[in-house]
Amino acid sequence: MPHLPSLPALPGRSSGVGSWPGEGIADATRLVLGELPEPAVPFQPELPARGPGADLIGRGATFLVDLPVDLQPSGWRLVDHPGRDLNRAMGWYRQDLDVLAEVAEGYAGPLKVAACGPWTLAASVILPRLERAVVDRGTCRDLVASLAEGLGRHVHELRRLLPGAQIVVQLDEPSLPAVLRGGVPTASGWGRLRAVEEPVVVEGLRAVLDAVVAAGAAATVVHCCAADAPVEALVRTGAAGLSVDVSLLGQPGWEALAPAIENGLALWAGVLPTAGALPTPAAAADAVWTRWRKLGLETGLLGQVAVTPTCGLAGSTPAAARATLARGRETAAELAERAASHG
């Protein structure tokens, strides 16, 4: 399956995953844009510390068209009419857009925005009959179509607000491995829901990715930081890039990635831990460089790599999160220097 449009290869690229500590969106947006100058890819920060509606699922539900949700003790549940919880989430969304438009006014270059992917939403949102939406294939189809339409509208709005930006859309799918292996717990927690067939999962992701590209997105990325990220299935979605924790890939994961990279896939390589001491730029670069050389990949293809943290930074302190972005820039520069010297 051919890959969707991507950003031009550019050595020395780094970025973040999305989530960020704190509750002040203006300060967070200014910091991220300031810490990730070209050739880095700045991103719209997400602040789950603000509370319900700013979390991954509540924020993702703001993009659903004609599928309102409300927050119940069991989690976010599909309902007939929007309530105060969805309105609060929409309020965060509008505030984030307003701030981004102000802080990034006149910005020209790639800008990454993230949203919960369809299968993590389906594995989390509860049906009115109190089971997870992933159990109902008709609801899954509706959810995929709804998210595709909503994210398409989001891209249109971003392009209107920031006409010089190249919008990169990232779908966050932490629950995808559980969806594929039948590991999603029932709403009661006493059992597990049956697996969703891989072709259905790939088709759903592809539908959302196609929609955002049709709306004008310059590139697409699917992010999965799980230990058993389904690399082969993700490659088949046609996403322009995959964002994974490379320390968890293992040899099979890298071997699945290698031919896709040779075919133009961008690797958003999670090499920086989200907690604890940061590795040196050289040590962090080794996490990609060593595997790259063992697989016999051309060093010129490292221009398709963007260095990132392994996952979001919401659990960090602001100072630690800032230091992680700085170390990402240094690591990306290290990789670019090695590629140039071995080219």
User: For residue 48, what are the contacts with CB-CB under 8 A and spacing of at least 6?
Assistant: 19, 54, 55, 56, 59, 314
Mean of pLDDT values over 22-39: 97
Name the strands in the sheet holding 13-14, side by side, starting at the edge strand that comes first in the sequence: 13-14, 305-309, 266-272, 241-245, 219-224, 165-172, 109-116
> What is the C-alpha to C-alpha distance for residues 198 and 170, in angstroms, rounded to an integer?
20
Evaluate whether residue 5 is within a structural domain.
Answer: no
Percentages helix, strand, coil for the chain, rounded to the nearest 5? 50, 15, 35
> 1 in a domain, yes or no?
no
**For residue 343, what pLDDT band results from cuts at 50, 70 and 90?**
low
Q: How far is CA 222 from CA 21, 216, 230, 329, 336, in A?
A: 22, 17, 11, 21, 24
CA distances from 188 to 57, 81, 185 (A): 19, 25, 8
pLDDT tens, 176-195? Answer: 999 999 999 998 888 999 99
Chain-wide mean pLDDT for the chain?
95
Decide if 73 is inside a domain. yes
> Does a structural domain hold residue 134?
yes
Q: What is the DSSP letter of 274?
A: S
pLDDT at 187: 84
Is the backbone peptide bond immediately before 177 cis, with ω within 30 degrees of 0? Answer: no
The total of structural domains in the chain comes to 1
Q: What is the pLDDT of residues 64-88, one digit of tens each?
A: 999 999 999 889 999 999 999 999 9
Q: H-helix or E-strand containing 82?
A: none
75-78 and 69-72 as β-strands: parallel, antiparallel, unpaired?
antiparallel
Please report whether residue 56 resides in a domain: yes
**Per-residue confidence (pLDDT) for residue 132, from 0 to 100:** 95
Is residue 7 included in any domain, yes or no?
Answer: no
Binning pLDDT at 50, 70 and 90, where does residue 235 land? very high
Question: What CATH number is attached to the domain comprising 40?
Answer: 3.20.20.210
**Domain annotation covers residue 95:** yes
pLDDT tens across 203-230, in order? Answer: 999 999 999 999 999 999 999 998 899 9
Domain assignment present for residue 3? The answer is: no
Q: Is residue 4's pLDDT more than 90?
A: no
Share of the chain above pLDDT 90, in %: 92
Assess whether pLDDT exceeds 80 at residue 322.
Answer: yes
Residue 290 in tokens: 């060593």
pLDDT digits (tens, 9 = 90+) for 263-306: 999 999 999 999 999 999 999 999 999 999 999 999 999 999 99
Q: pTM of the entire structure?
A: 0.97
Q: Which domain holds residue 255?
A: 13-342
